[in-house]
Each structure stands twice: as structure tokens, then as C-alpha cells.
Structure 1
Amino acid sequence: MSDLQVDVETKKQKPKEVKAINAFVLLFGVIIIAAILTYIVPAGQYERVEVDGRSVIDPQSFQFIESNPVGFLEIFNSIHTGMSDASSIIFFVFIVGGAFGILQATGALDSFVVYLSTKLANREKIIIPVLMLFFAAGGSLMGMAEETLVYIGILVPLAIALKFDAIVGFAVVVLGASVGFTSAVMNPFTVGVAQGVAELPTFSGIGFRLVLLVVFYLAAVLYILHYVKKIKKDPSLGFYGKYEQGSQEGLLKSNSKLDTRHKWVLITFLLNFVVLVYGVIKFGWYITEIAGLFLLFGILIGIVGRLSASNIADSFIKGAGNLVGGALIIGVAQAILVIFNSGGLMDTILYYASSAIDNIPGAFTAVGMFILQLGLNFLVPSGSGQAALTMPIMAPLADLVGVTRQTAVLAYQLGDGLSNNIFPTVGFFMAGLALAGIPWTRWLKWVFPLFLIQIAISVIALVIAQLIQYGPF
């Protein structure tokens, strides 16, 4: 066989590499589409009124207003405005990334990965349901979302070390937090806000949401374990992101030990989380306070890890630098919302979507609300923002069409939560993908069957809620 024939055969046998869409290209394309829509869709406006210190919509006040199409230069201006609007989250990412950089510099994380991998060598699947339960509790009780970014950097290399892949490590964190955030047993940023707007007792109806948490959790765990079984049989089916397949073999075979210094570093890091939970629950901490806490404990971790002051600073800069791409994605995603608000389209879309619900059969009215909220999360990825925007309309609409307000809140939380690990406008989700080195298109292909399963669970739950007239208690 000639060299030419060998070359041709090699090319035939080599699988075709699918080039992933760059996240910034994808988001900029959405920005352009949003700008074009400002020339097509008529602008509208609801009046806002002050209720309990919050600005909410007067459902009867919608009117069309003069269109304000977004100009060519405004498309580019929106990115700067979006970054300004999302600056608190962007700097939160930098600070958490810097604290994580200090943790990495101590060497405690690598030693922990080796130690845990050795201990779980024959029982590695136990770590998946256990860690997912931890993240589900965080999402359900304290609205863990942006806070998951720091754990992605820990779990992805751990998954590689356990001979899973990057998707498993990312999924354990993101899907774990997502099932908790979606079921929202006591999530103050979604159910807490929505029930307040809907004039329901705070955290009422908790029993139904607990059942949902169990169902969502089991579905996600079984889905990941099924995937793990496949890649254990054939590792070539896995995706390893910025890691090479088997790149952690040296880590597993290294002589690193979890010495006393490393143990104290990890204990300090765990204490950080304990204080975080206490602060969120007791004092209502959010991004600013959590960022300050990570910075404080980052410095403490450096001191416990016996790093010099210069090493702590250098490690912080390096850790923050690793998240530049992810932090910028958050700002670019926010620019999409800037375009819609600037062009006056947000209220128009909300008006037409809400009007359409009136034509849905009674048993499926709540499902219609759910679909509407699911779509709106593309435009308003903030859970509390979406609650304040839509619940003033959904609550009275529920009264008119025979749906309980508690069911309307359920439709909102499900629609808001499920799409947080799908839509590219969700800044922290896209930042997490960048941190894990997973293209959005690759993740979407992997997670979409589970997303459909979760949609089916949500529809069934809403129909049941409608039939039992799910109420305040």
C-alpha cells in the first residue's frame, strides 16, 4: 500500500472533530438578534408601583409607547453597560477565584484529591450521590448558584482522578445545586420573594416542595450514574475538557500525603462554608458579604498553609486571572438584557405572553405559566428579579383562571430553576462551563435528555397541584 493510500485510510478512520461555538460569539449573536427585534416588535410599558420597598408592575397599566430601536453603536455600548450592571457578580467571581488560587497554592487540594481517590478506589460511585445531596441542600436552602463556581474547580479534577470525566465533575456541582434551587424548599431568593409578592406566608407549602426535591434529586443522580457506567466501559466516550484523558494518573500515583498542614487548610476552608451558611440564613448575606468572606478565609488559608504574604498575593492574582474569561461572559450575557430594556421590549413580551395564558384549558393553565416563566428566564436569569417582574401579573391572573397562588409560585420557581443550566444568558452557568473547559454545545447535547425528563416531572407536578388546589400550607 502506498504512502498516499495509508494517508487516505488514516483520514477516513480519524473521527471528525466538531468545532465548538465560542461562548462570546454565541452571546454576541444573541445581542444582534435582540437589537434587530427592537425594530420589529412594538415597545410597551407597565407602570411600576412601590410595594414593601420593591418596584412591582401594575397589571392593568400596560400601554404601547413610542419605539426606541437600538442603534448600531448601542449594540457595542450595551456590552460595557452590561458589564457595569453585572459588576458585583463579576468582581465576586474574581475574588472567589483569587481565594481558590490561594487554596491551590497550599497544595492541600491536590493532596486531598489523591487521598480521597485512594480511599474511594473501589467505591467511587458513592461520592456522586453524597456530593450531589450536599449541593442540592445548598441550592434548596440558601439559593446556591454563583457560589458553585468555586466548587467546580475542585470537583472537575476530582472526577478526572476517579476516572470519570469533566462533565461528571461539572454535573455533580451544577445539577446538584440546580435540583435544590429548582425545588426551592426554603430558597429565599426565589420562593421567598415570590411568595411575598403573591401575599402568601413565607416558605408555606413546604411539604410539596420537599417531595419535588427528592424526585428531582433521584432523577439527576440516576442520570449521571448511567453516564458513568457508559464511560467506565469505554473511556473514549467521555469528555475531558482542558484535561487530557488519564492526565490525573500521575496525581493518583504520586507520593503526596494529606499531612497536618493540609488538613488544617481544608478545615479552614470548610469553616468558611459553615460561616457562609450561617451568615446567609441568619443575616441574609449575598454576593458582597460572601465575596468578603472568601477573601478573608483566602488570606487565613494562606497563613495556615504557611505561604508568605507575597505568595498569598501572587496566588490570589493567578487564581483571579484564571477566571477572566468566565467573568467577562457574565457581563456580555447581561448586555442582552440591556438591549431588551433599552428597546422597550421586555414589557411587551411579558404582556403578550401573559395574555396568551387566558386561552389555555383550566387543567393546564399552570403548565402555561410554567412555559412562560421558562422562556422569561432567558431574558431575566435573576431568580429574584424574575419573581418581582412576573408575580405581580401571575398572582392576580391565577385568581382569574382558577389557579391557586401557591401553584402560580410553583410554576414560577420551576420555570426559573430548570433553565439555569441550559440558557447561555445565565452568567454564572456560562462562567462555570468556561472554568471546567466544557463547550456550551457539548454540555447542551449531554444534559438535554435530563432537561426533558425534568420538564415532564414539572408538568406532572403542576397538574397535580392544580387538581389538589395546592394552597398555602
Structure 2
Amino acid sequence: METFKFESTENDFKNNQGYGRKKLFDFENLHPYVIILSIVFIIYLLCLVLPSGTFDRVKNENGDMVVVDDSYHTVEKDVPSIFDLFLNFQMGFVETASITFFIMFAYAFVHMLTVNGTMGAILGNIAAKLGHKTYLFVPVSMIVFGLLGATAGLYEEVYGLIPVFIGAAIALGYDAVVGGAIVFVGVATGFAAALTNPFTIGIAQGLANVPLYSGMLFRIIVFVVFEIVVIWYVTHYARKVKKDPTKSVLYGSRLVTPNHIELKEQPLLLKHKLSLLSLLFTFGMIVYSTLKLGWYIDELAALFLLMFIIVGFFSKYSLGKIMDIFIDSAKEILFGIMTIGFIQGAIITMEDSTVLDTVIHYLSSFLGESNSYVTSLGMLFAQNVINLFITGGPALAMATMPIMAPLADLAGLDRQIAIVAYQFGDGFSNMFWPTGVAVECAIMGISMIRWYKFMLPLFGIMVILQILFMIIATAMF
């Protein structure tokens, strides 16, 4: 079988991200941090312009703080200084330490499997078995990620797998965008078109006081339709790139690939078999522990770190060698995880200046006592906008559902409509808003502009489908 190789150097990475370029403003390779800091500056200006206000909040039966409908009131404005903005960057890194180190440990585990040759051996043998059926790689993988997102609510938990699928995609003749999209678009679509996602549907239906996981038939139809669309889109793009590499959105850029993997058919050594068992065990524990044991980011981070060390011992590496591999993986992922703290810092600035509730109040007031269809589509629009400022399904649900559910009652709509609007607005826009895309592109090692070239047509289709399903839901419920 043909042997595929790919590797990158530090210079490749810097060239791709725009370091050292002569152009003062290179839109094609705009640095992700420039985009993020621009968003932060816009948010800071909003904090200066918008009036400060807040909703009253009370604890629900689960002990979560939720807003009280019709309780919005203005408060004295506390204008944040420039120093406060930079102080909030520091606080953003502190508050996101859990997710930051989770990604670092997950990436270290995958990096260890790459260094000891397990990934190369597994992917090489899979490629050999597939033969001319490599086209199955995209749909099968995306279905798996979609189901994990739709049922167990996995999202950040799969970040560590992005480099693996980028490597596999490139080795099979595609590009890095295909590998990243398999994971990112796959899990995000499932997370948005959720079936039993406990972090979105479970919380939202609880806050809206509707039966848990009701409206399942409608959700199944939504999930199937969106899965068909995203699989078709990514598969079509992958085939186009394989046939003609100049059709890649990355064509003309210095391609970044985070690891070196050589794919060829080869026998699995004992260390590979033990490492594969460790990988399967880890995947199994992720699903089981999140569903049955209540594990989340901290526990899963500990699991990845433990399995990283265990696989290192299986590979007969010394402790010093294991630590060297850890440092190397941390260097590779640092650029990506740093974006998380900056984004959170901007959100803290909005919270401290008490304009976040003002944004929610204005959007909800805009809906008013409109026609039922206008109200349902307005809810969809509002949730998409609010998701730019409030990241995380549970946080968005607790901030908006106590407002949107009564609005649905006012418009004569079933509260399921408000839940569907929240479900769509929270999930699909994560593949579009820079606050989410910046993190993923940094992990993938590609320019955000290149990602948008790939994603904009698909997101346009998603928006149309969301509108259609909101209209259908309004007629059904």
C-alpha cells in the first residue's frame, strides 16, 4: 500500500498564522488573535454605550440561579476602565482553567499515541482495509460524532481528537479542513440537533416546565435531516479536494499539521495493541462516566492525563521521556487554548458592566406580542445573537429560558417552540460565531478566514433549515 507522510515545522506554523509577513494587513491570513481582540474591543464599546441593567435571579429546585421574568431594571453604570479590561483577561484565564487544561491533557494523550506509532499503525491498517472505500471515512465518522453530541452531549470532550482526524484526512488525500470538520461540524451538529442532550434539552425543558425529552419524534427528524446535509456537504468537499487539491480552501496557504504520522499497512506490536485498548477504554469511559457517573471536564481531564502516562509506560518510555512528550504536546496546543481565556475575559467585562442582561432584555422586548410565526422566528434570531455573548448551553438556558418560555405563552405558542429556538440558537451558531470558531481554528492550525470560506455555504443551508423547522414546529405544536 502507498505510504503517506505529513509533518510540520515551527516555521510552517508561523508562516500559516501570518507571522513575519510584510503586508500590514493580510486579510487572507488574518491572525486569529487579531479577530478575537477586535471582538473584545467591540464588546468593550458596547459596555460603554449600552445602559446597565439586570434581571432578578432566584434559585430553582436544582439549586441553579435563573432569571425572573419581567424583573429587568436599570442600575447605576459602572464603566470599566482599560485596565479593568486587561484585568479581566487574567480572570478569564483563571475561570477557564478547567477547559484549558482539559484540552491540554486530551491533546497530550493523543500526541502520545502518535509518538509511539499507534495512530500511524491503526490508521494505516484501516486505510488498507478500506481500499477504494475510503469515502466511508467521512460519513461513518460524522455519524458517530453526531450521535455522541446528540445523546450524551459531548462537545469539548472531543477536542483532543481533532489532530487525529486531520492526520487521517490528509493521509487519505483530503485536507486539514476535512479532518477538522469531521470532528467539529460532526459533534456540533449533533449537539445542536439534539435528541437527549442533557446539557441543552434536559436543562431547557426543565426550566420551561415541560416533560423531559418530550417532542422526540420532531427531534429525530431534525437530527436525521441535519446529519444528511452536513455529511453530504463535507463528503462533497472532500471528494472535490481529493480530485483537485487546488479546490481546497487551504490552497495557497502553508498547511499546518500538528503531528507526523506515517500511514502504511503494518503489524500491530504489543505496545500498539495495549495503546489501542487504552484508547478504546478511554472512549468508553467518556461516554459511560458522563451519562452514569456525572463526570465532566475536571474528571475527564484527569482520565486523559492518567491514560497518557499509562500509554507512556506501555511504550517502555522513561519518566523523563514521557515528560518531554508532554511538553512537546503542550507547545503544539498552546496557541489554541490561549484563545479561550481572551474570549472569557470579554464576557467578564460585559458581566461586570451589567450590560449582558440589557442585551437579553432588548432582544426579548423586540419580540413583544407579535404574530406567532414572527415570534418563533424572532426567538431563533435572539438566541443566535445572545449565543455570541453567552457561551455554554447550560448558561444560555438559565439566562434565556425563563424569559422565552413566558414569551411563548404570550404569543399563544407551545413552550416547545422556545426550546427548539434555544436548541438551534445555542448549537449551530457555534460553528459560525468567532468566539467559538477561533478556538477550533487554533486547534486545527488553520486561518479563520479559510474556515469561513468552507463553512459559509453550509451555515447558510443550516440557517434555511432552522427557519423551515421553526415554521414547521410552530404549526405542529
The two structures have a TM-score, normalised by structure 1, of 0.91
1:382 Cα deviation after fit: 0.7
In structure 1, give the amino acid aligned to 2:428. L
The residue aligned with 1:33 is 42
Which aligned pairs between 1:224-263 and structure 2 lie closer than 5 A?
224-238=234-248, 239=250, 243=255, 251-252=262-263, 256-263=266-273
Cα distance in 1 between the residues matched to 2:256 and 2:39? 32
Cα distance in 1 between the residues matched to 2:266 and 2:89? 45
Q: 2:457 aligns with which of 446, 449, 461?
A: 449
Question: Are 1:31 and 1:339, in contact at CA under 8 Å, matched by a contact in 2?
Answer: no
Q: 2:474 aligns with which of 449, 460, 466?
A: 466
Question: Are 1:269 and 1:301, in contact at CA under 8 Å, matched by a contact in 2?
Answer: no
SS at 1:263 equivalent: helix
The residue aligned with 2:151 is 141
The residue aligned with 1:8 is none
1:447 Cα deviation after fit: 0.7
The residue aligned with 2:177 is 167
Cα distance in 2 between the residues matched to 1:104 and 1:318? 12
1:244 Cα deviation after fit: 7.2
Aligned residues: percent identity? 34
Q: Does 1:272 align with 2:282?
A: yes
1:116 Cα deviation after fit: 2.1
Cα distance in 2 between the residues matched to 1:49 and 1:362? 29
The residue aligned with 1:367 is 377
In structure 1, give the amino acid aligned to 2:461. I
1:399 Cα deviation after fit: 0.9
Residues 1:243 and 1:34: Cα distance change in structure 2 (over 3 Å): closer
Cα distance in 2 between the residues matched to 1:286 and 1:151? 17
Question: Are 1:360 and 1:368, in contact at CA under 8 Å, matched by a contact in 2?
Answer: no
1:256 Cα deviation after fit: 5.0
1:82 Cα deviation after fit: 1.1
What are the Cα deviations for residues 156-193 of structure 1, in whole angstroms up to 9, with x where unaligned? 01000000111111111111101110111011111111
The residue aligned with 1:9 is none
Say how many residue pairs are matched: 448
Cα distance in 1 between the residues matched to 2:27 and 2:394? 37
The residue aligned with 2:6 is none
Q: 2:204 aligns with which of 194, 202, 223?
A: 194
Q: 1:430 aligns with which of 438, 451, 460?
A: 438
1:121 Cα deviation after fit: 3.2
SS at 1:121 equivalent: helix
The residue aligned with 2:17 is none
Question: Are 1:151 and 1:173, in contact at CA under 8 Å, matched by a contact in 2?
Answer: yes
Which aligned pairs between 1:112-131 and structure 2 lie closer than 5 A?
112-131=122-141
- Using the TM superposition, name which of 341-350 and 230-239 deviates more: 230-239
Aligned-residue CA RMSD (Å): 1.9
Cα distance in 2 between the residues matched to 1:360 and 1:178? 31
Cα distance in 1 between the residues matched to 2:440 and 2:468? 30
Q: Does 1:324 align with 2:326?
A: no
SS at 2:71 equivalent: coil
The residue aligned with 1:289 is 299
1:424 Cα deviation after fit: 1.8
* Moved >6 Å (runs of 4+): none
Question: Are 2:154 and 2:187, in contact at CA under 8 Å, matched by a contact in 1?
Answer: yes
1:444 Cα deviation after fit: 1.2
Cα distance in 1 between the residues matched to 2:328 and 2:413? 52
The residue aligned with 1:405 is 415
In structure 1, give the amino acid aligned to 2:154. M
Q: Does 1:417 align with 2:455?
A: no
In structure 1, give the amino acid aligned to 2:262. L
The residue aligned with 1:335 is 345
Residues 1:145 and 1:359: Cα distance change in structure 2 (over 3 Å): same
Question: Are 2:36 and 2:438, in contact at CA under 8 Å, matched by a contact in 1?
Answer: no
The residue aligned with 2:32 is 23
1:18 Cα deviation after fit: 5.6
Question: Are 2:79 and 2:353, in contact at CA under 8 Å, matched by a contact in 1?
Answer: yes
- Using the TM superposition, name which of 263-272 and 166-175 deviates more: 263-272
Q: Does 1:353 align with 2:363?
A: yes
| Structure 2: gaps (5+ residues) | 1-25
SS at 1:344 equivalent: coil
Residues 1:62 and 1:200: Cα distance change in structure 2 (over 3 Å): same
Residues 1:244 and 1:48: Cα distance change in structure 2 (over 3 Å): closer
1:388 Cα deviation after fit: 0.6
In structure 2, give the amino acid aligned to 1:386. L
1:132 Cα deviation after fit: 0.4
Which aligned pairs between 1:178-193 and structure 2 lie closer than 5 A?
178-193=188-203
Residues 1:451 and 1:244: Cα distance change in structure 2 (over 3 Å): closer
Question: Are 1:32 and 1:75, in contact at CA under 8 Å, matched by a contact in 2?
Answer: no
What are the Cα deviations for residues 11-54 of structure 1, in whole angstroms up to 9, with x where unaligned? xxxxxx86311111111111111111222111111111111201
Question: Are 1:364 and 1:463, in contact at CA under 8 Å, matched by a contact in 2?
Answer: no
Which aligned pairs between 1:304-323 and structure 2 lie closer than 5 A?
304-323=314-333
1:230 Cα deviation after fit: 1.8
Cα distance in 2 between the residues matched to 1:256 and 1:438? 31
The residue aligned with 2:16 is none
1:385 Cα deviation after fit: 0.4
SS at 2:179 equivalent: helix
Cα distance in 1 between the residues matched to 2:54 and 2:405? 19
Cα distance in 2 between the residues matched to 1:198 and 1:244? 45
SS at 1:56 equivalent: strand
The residue aligned with 1:299 is 309
Cα distance in 2 between the residues matched to 1:200 and 1:177? 26
